[in-house]
Amino acid sequence: MHDLWSDPTGREGMVFNIQKYSIHDGPGIRTTVFLKGCPLRCEWCANPESINPYPEIFFREEKCERCERCIGACPLKAIQMSEGGAQIDRTKCNLCMKCVEVCPTGAISQIGKKMTLEEIVKEVVQDEIFYRNSGGGITASGGEPLYQAKFTLNLLRECKNRGLHTALDTTGHAKWEVLDEISNYTDLVLFDIKHLDSEIHQKGTGVGNELILKNLDKILKKGVTVWARIPIIPNFNNSPQYIETLAKFLSKKPFQKISILNYHEWGKHKYKLLGREYPLKETHPLSEEELKDIKNIIESHGLEVTINY
Ligand code: SF4
Ligand code: SF4
């Protein structure tokens, strides 16, 4: 597994967010640690800043006061002034972050930073009382947390040793040895199932699903508690015929919980901040009725399904 920015000792991780009081990433109240780096390229990705394993730059046009300090600071002359304020030529930029250092308004900011294991654990344990009262804990998410395998292992092991409930939110796309070892310190795996047809999976996510489905079988066989999380993406995996196939597949596996998650556009603005095009411009979330129809098809196979959680 490509491990470019990850500290080989696993003592430092590349983190882009620590979300406290999270209630959608496992049971109870949780702290979700979002790690950068992902081997998939899902067209609908709501966290585009999570994909690359290194720090990146957000540019917020509305905050730019056109002071031109960033232009003077850039050693590669990658910034010029435009109608919308400073404009970064990201093909020239080497992410030295000198512009971030001088920007007085935060219009240019760094997304993603290295944090030590100790720093993160210190932040996580601050809310221990909430975890104890609600049955919550810590969730390692991303990106793909298995991308920074050693760090995720250390983080979940440390939290587990402190008696916290640990969850791993994963695409399942990693070497089995990695998932196997980390799952020894994981109380719950939130496992994404995006499409059962490998060719279609490849078109939507950039990778086939063979490794993912093999890992799913292995982790279930190992007896780890798994929640299946199924993003429902219009024109990708929402046809009634496909949902029937999916339901049959799900009914043969011992998931503790099955959730369908409606496609949403909350991450759209972040593509602009990164200077990227949003790939699914014409796609919109399903209606409540459409989601209920999908839930009903799956539940007709004797399963229970939650929507958006
Ligand atoms: S990060 Fe460095 S190279 Fe990139 S635009 Fe800013 S100053 Fe220039
Ligand atoms: S330093 Fe910040 S506020 Fe000034 S021009 Fe650059 S982005 Fe805009």
Phi, psi torsion values for 92, nearest 5 degrees = -90, -30
Q: Whose CA is nearest to atom 8 of ligand 2?
A: 64
Q: How far is the CA of 291 from the centre of ligand 1 (A)?
A: 44
Q: How far is CA 169 from CA 165, 252, 292, in A?
A: 13, 22, 24
The partner residues of 137 in beta bridges, in order of sequence, read 30, 165
Domain boundaries defined on the chain = 12-53+113-307, 56-111
Does the domain made of 12-53+113-307 have the CATH classification 3.20.20.70? yes
143 prior amide bond cis, ω within 30: yes
- Amino acid in the structure at residue 188: L
Atom number, ligand 1, closest to the C-alpha of residue 92: 3
Residue 94 beta carbon below 6 angstroms from any ligand 1 atom: yes
pTM of the model: 0.94
User: Which ligand has the shortest distance to the CA of 103?
Assistant: 2
Q: What is the pLDDT of residue 5?
A: 52
pLDDT tens by residue, the chain, 309 residues: 344 456 778 999 999 999 999 999 999 999 999 999 999 999 999 999 999 999 999 999 999 999 999 999 999 999 999 999 999 999 999 999 999 999 999 999 999 999 999 999 999 999 999 999 999 999 999 999 999 999 999 999 999 999 999 999 999 999 999 999 999 999 999 999 999 999 999 999 999 999 999 999 999 999 999 999 999 999 999 999 999 999 999 999 999 999 999 999 989 999 999 999 999 999 999 999 999 999 999 999 999 999 998
Q: Which CATH architecture has domain 56-111?
A: 2-Layer Sandwich (3.30)
Report which DSSP code applies to 99: H
Q: Which ligand is nearest to the CA of 90?
A: 1
Looking at residue 8, its pLDDT comes to 78
Beta strand ranges found along the chain (DSSP E): 12-22, 30-35, 56-59, 79-82, 85-88, 108-111, 113-116, 137-141, 165-170, 188-192, 225-232, 257-262, 306-307
Pocket of ligand 2 (CB under 6 A): 64-70, 85-86, 102-103, 105, 107-108
> 78 in ligand 1 pocket by Cβ < 6 Å?
yes
